[in-house]
């Protein structure tokens, strides 16, 4: 079977690639790409900061994916990416791969620099109003006074008027600062001076404001006053009457890129040259060149209503997903939740993956190595999550998407992140881009990032709580146990003794308190060192544990003093007790004790009482101590004798 041909892949890099100008450009690349077997991979970052901050570090992780994708060309939106270091980073990746790099509205050596020519379209528009329609009283709503872009358009306006013998009146130039409120102030001055025949505006937003102000004063557009805009935003097309405006010729730019890609494919070398994005005038209803029609606005209104409804449902669903994860601590809970939450939006390809170390609850590692899928769906068919792959594979199955004649033409990539911490990425493939489809992609990216962040935070918090509980337990042990011998200390001994005496199963049985004092600890410390003294103390402790076994509790009160409590069926008489000998046998059965140059022994005393009524533990210890001291005296006498 013949191997299917793959399309060339071109990467488009920008920040927040969800505005309408970007959408128009991407669709132009898609349209031209269909004819030239070019597939678009759009990398959309989150930051628009000019400074090097945490978000910018996260952007670098996104664009670093280009190294692992089979990209044969790069387009950089130089205006949307504000940080020059990020742009240079992408350019360097392109140079490493030795592929063409096209940079929009920035001049970078070694790249195909594409500059937007605003003046061509604006001059065409002004000439249309003056020369085609023959208007002489033409006002201009400019942008900011002193702004280079705004001043360029003002100078073009003056030039066209002068070439047509029309005097330039300063009262006919107003500065609307590219938005509504100052545009209204400028319009009020126009109407006070003299009603114009036409108003040319430096952007569509001010043109819409101009139409509104004219209608508020009883004038109709274009019957009484012609209004034109500039930049071709969507709201101008939804306006009534539809704006005559200038739009960028992105098809021309896309064809230039495709042509250079084909040259690169054929020759294998990069030969940079410059190109311009021309704005072209598009005549429509607001200049009177096309008749006013309400029918298309009904279509637009229906479309907007459907988009609004979809936006509401998608936002509600994503919020439900995030709410469902508020107390979850596992990434797999997210993977299980996604199919049900995405059930209404299964008309394309969606993919999401997370770094495998994060999925398994490990420590965050900055590099991307192995990844695990948490979502993979195509036209309603969900594949099981949990597939692992290496970063060099980028997106498993991408080769099938890149095949000539495939159902998709663009892949949009966004990071799953928290500031500079990149946990994974999502990819969505489309045949062509719609405004709502691109917005939904952005919404899904934001909600999934927030959801993953919540789950990771919950896991870390749960892990921290567990560590705190263990720390509290260690602290509690320090307050109850002797650190040298690991026996209970005085406090621990009395707590356990209280439990023994209050245990109903022990009622009627005998409680024996054993008091032990090690012999010769000072001599061992002074003669052989404190390490040997500690060794001797631990031997006493081990022997006591063997003596009391599971029927009692042992403790070190401090220094060379030990106390034990044992429950038994029979009364134990101190005079008949053989504990001293038993203790000695236990000590000398321990490995290494017989080889020591000093004896390890202890004096013992006991007090035994039946567990009934209220026992005075302190009193029993005093009695056991008195017998212990007597035992010490008796043993000294025996040694002297």
- DSSP strand pairing (275-282 vs 245-248): antiparallel
Instruction: Give the chain's count of helices (H) and strands (E).
Output: 19, 21
**Cα–Cα distance between 202 and 213 in angstroms, integer?**
17
pLDDT of residue 48: 75
The residue among 301 and 528 whose pLDDT is bigger is: 528
pLDDT at position 41: 96
Mean pLDDT of 22-30: 92
pLDDT attached to residue 638: 82
Here the tokens at position 11 are: 């990467």
Q: Is the peptide bond before 241 cis (omega within 30 degrees of 0)?
A: yes
Q: Is the pLDDT of residue 2 over 60?
A: no
Fold of 490-640: Alpha-Beta Plaits (3.30.70)
Listed range (80-84, 299-303, 379-383, 572-576) with the worst mean pLDDT:
299-303
Phi-psi region of 585 (alpha: psi -120 to 50; beta: other; left: phi over 0): alpha
- DSSP string of 498-564, one letter each residue: HHHHH-GGGTTSEEEEEEEEESSHHHHHHHH-HHHHHHHHHHHHHHHHHHHGGGEEEEEEETTEEEE
Give me the pLDDT at residue 300, please: 67
The strand pairing partners of 103, in sequence order, are: 76, 113
At residue 296, the pLDDT reads 61
pLDDT range class, residue 404, cuts 50, 70, 90? confident
Whether the pLDDT of residue 409 is over 60: the answer is yes
Token output for 57: 């570090």
- Report the share of the chain in percent with pLDDT over 90: 60
Instruction: Specify the pLDDT at position 59.
Output: 86
What would the pLDDT profile of 261-288 be if each residue is shown by its tens digit? Answer: 999 999 989 999 999 999 999 999 999 9
Q: How large is the average pLDDT for residues 148-165?
A: 95
Q: Is pLDDT larger for residue 324 or for residue 362?
A: 324
Q: How many CA atoms lie within 13 A of 138 on its CB side?
A: 29
Q: What pLDDT shows up at residue 464?
A: 78
Q: pLDDT-based confidence at 1, cuts 50/70/90?
A: very low
Average of per-residue pLDDT across 508-528: 93
The pLDDT of residue 106 is above 50: yes
What average pLDDT does the segment 547-571 reach?
A: 89
- Report, as an integer, the average pLDDT of 38-42: 96
What is 372-431 written as a DSSP string?
EEEEEEETTEEPPS--EEEGGGSSTTHHHHHBTT-S--EEEEEEEEETTEEEEEEEEEES
The 3-state DSSP class for residue 350 equals strand
pLDDT at 294: 67
Q: What is the mean pLDDT of residues 76-95?
A: 92
d(CA 217, CA 208): 15
The residue among 166 and 367 whose pLDDT is bigger is 166
In angstroms, what CA-CA distances link 474 with 463, 480, 621?
Answer: 16, 10, 28
- What average pLDDT is seen over the chain? 90
Model confidence band, residue 558 (pLDDT cutoffs 50, 70, 90) = confident
Looking at residue 266, what is its pLDDT? Answer: 92
Compute the distance between CA of residue 361 and CA of residue 344 in angstroms, rounded to an integer: 31
Cα–Cα dist 404/61, whole Å: 29
Task: Give the pLDDT confidence of 197-217 residue by residue, as tens digits.
Answer: 999 999 999 999 999 999 999
Q: Which pair of tokens denotes residue 269?
A: 């070398």
CA–CA distances in Å: residue 221 to residues 124, 213, 224: 20, 11, 6
Kind plus residue range of the DSSP H or E element containing 278: strand 275-282
Given a contact cutoff of 8 angstroms between Cβ atoms, the answer to whether 427 and 376 are in contact is: no
367: which DSSP letter?
S
pLDDT at 199: 98
User: What average pLDDT does this structure show over 400-420?
Assistant: 87
Domain boundaries, the chain: 8-110+299-459, 118-249+281-287, 490-640
CA 367 from centre of chain: 15
CA dihedral 504, 506, 508, 510 (to 10 degrees): -160
Q: Which fold has domain 118-249+281-287?
A: Rossmann fold (3.40.50)
Q: How much is the pLDDT for 347?
A: 84
Q: Are strands 73-77 and 112-117 parallel, antiparallel or unpaired?
A: unpaired
């Amino acid at each position: 079977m013949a191997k299917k041909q793959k399309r060339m892949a071109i990467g488009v890099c920008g920040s927040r690639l969800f505005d309408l100008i970007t959408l128009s450009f991407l669709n132009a690349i898609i349209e031209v790409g269909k004819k030239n077997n070019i597939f678009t991979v759009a990398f959309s970052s989150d930051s628009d900061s000019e400074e090097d901050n945490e978000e910018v570090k996260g952007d670098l992780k996104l664009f670093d994916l280009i190294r692992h994708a089979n990209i044969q060309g790069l387009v950089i939106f130089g205006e949307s990416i504000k940080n020059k270091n990020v742009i240079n980073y992408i350019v360097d990746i392109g140079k490493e791969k030795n592929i063409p790099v096209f940079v929009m509205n920035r001049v970078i050596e070694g790249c195909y620099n594409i500059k937007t020519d605003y003046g061509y379209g604006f001059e065409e528009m002004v000439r249309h109003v003056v020369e085609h329609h023959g208007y002489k009283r033409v006002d201009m709503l400019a942008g900011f006074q002193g702004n280079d872009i705004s001043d360029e358009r003002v100078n073009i306006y003056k030039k066209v008027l002068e070439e047509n013998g029309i005097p330039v009146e300063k009262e006919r130039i107003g500065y609307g600062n590219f938005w509504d409120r100052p545009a209204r102030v400028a319009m009020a001055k126009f109407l006070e001076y003299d009603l114009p025949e036409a108003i040319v505006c430096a952007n569509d937003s001010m043109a819409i404001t101009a139409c509104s102000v004219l209608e508020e004063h009883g004038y109709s557009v274009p019957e009484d006053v012609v209004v034109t805009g500039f930049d071709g935003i969507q709201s101008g097309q939804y306006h009534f009457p539809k704006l005559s405006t200038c739009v960028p010729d992105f098809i021309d730019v896309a064809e230039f890129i495709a042509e250079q890609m084909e040259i690169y494919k054929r020759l294998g070398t990069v030969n940079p040259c410059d190109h311009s994005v021309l704005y072209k005038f598009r005549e429509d209803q607001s200049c009177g060149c096309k008749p006013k029609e309400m029918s298309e606005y009904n279509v637009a209104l229906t479309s907007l209503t459907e988009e609004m409804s979809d936006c509401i449902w998608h936002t509600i669903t994503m919020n439900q997903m995030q709410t469902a994860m508020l107390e979850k601590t596992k990434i797999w809970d997210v993977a299980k939740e996604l199919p049900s939450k995405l059930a209404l939006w299964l008309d394309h390809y969606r993919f999401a993956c997370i770094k495998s170390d994060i999925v398994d609850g490990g420590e965050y590692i900055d590099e991307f190595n192995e990844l695990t899928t948490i979502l993979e769906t195509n036209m309603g068919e969900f594949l099981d999550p949990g597939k692992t792959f290496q970063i060099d594979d980028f997106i498993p199955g991408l080769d099938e998407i890149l095949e000539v004649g495939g159902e998709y033409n663009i892949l949009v990539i966004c990071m799953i992140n928290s500031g500079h911490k990149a946990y994974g990425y999502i990819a969505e493939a489309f045949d062509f881009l719609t405004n709502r489809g691109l917005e939904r992609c952005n919404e899904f990216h934001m909600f999934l990032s927030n959801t993953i962040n919540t789950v990771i935070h919950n896991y870390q918090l749960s892990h921290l709580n567990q560590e705190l509980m263990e720390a509290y337990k260690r602290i509690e042990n320090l307050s109850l146990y002797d650190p040298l011998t690991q026996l209970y200390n005085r406090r621990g001994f009395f707590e356990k003794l209280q439990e023994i005496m209050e245990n109903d199963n022990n009622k009627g049985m005998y409680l024996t308190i054993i008091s032990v004092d090690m012999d010769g600890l000072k001599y061992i410390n002074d003669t052989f060192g404190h390490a040997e003294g500690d060794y001797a103390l631990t031997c006493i402790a081990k022997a006591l544990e063997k003596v009391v076994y599971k029927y009692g509790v042992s403790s070190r009160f401090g220094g060379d003093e030990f106390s034990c409590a044992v429950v038994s069926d029979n009364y134990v008489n101190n005079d008949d007790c053989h504990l001293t000998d038993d203790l000695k046998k236990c000590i000398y059965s321990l490995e290494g004790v017989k080889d020591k140059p000093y004896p390890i022994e202890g004096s013992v005393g006991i007090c035994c009482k039946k567990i009934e009524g209220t026992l005075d533990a302190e009193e029993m210890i005093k009695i056991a101590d008195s017998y212990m001291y007597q035992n010490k005296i008796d043993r000294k006498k025996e040694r002297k004798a």
